[in-house]
Structure 1
Amino acid sequence: MSDDQSARLGLSYLAAGQMQKHVTLNEALTRLDAVVQTAVVSRTAPAQPAAPVDGALYI
Structure 2
Amino acid sequence: MDWTSNRTATPAVQQAELITIVDKLVLTGINIVYFQVRPECYALYNSSIEPWSYWLT
TM-score scaled by length of structure 1: 0.35
TM-score scaled by length of structure 2: 0.36
Structure scoring higher RCO (CA < 8 A, sep ≥ 6) equals 1
The structure with the greater share of residues assigned to helix is: 2
The structure with the greater share of residues assigned to strand is: 1
Q: Over alpha carbons, which structure has the higher Rg?
A: 2
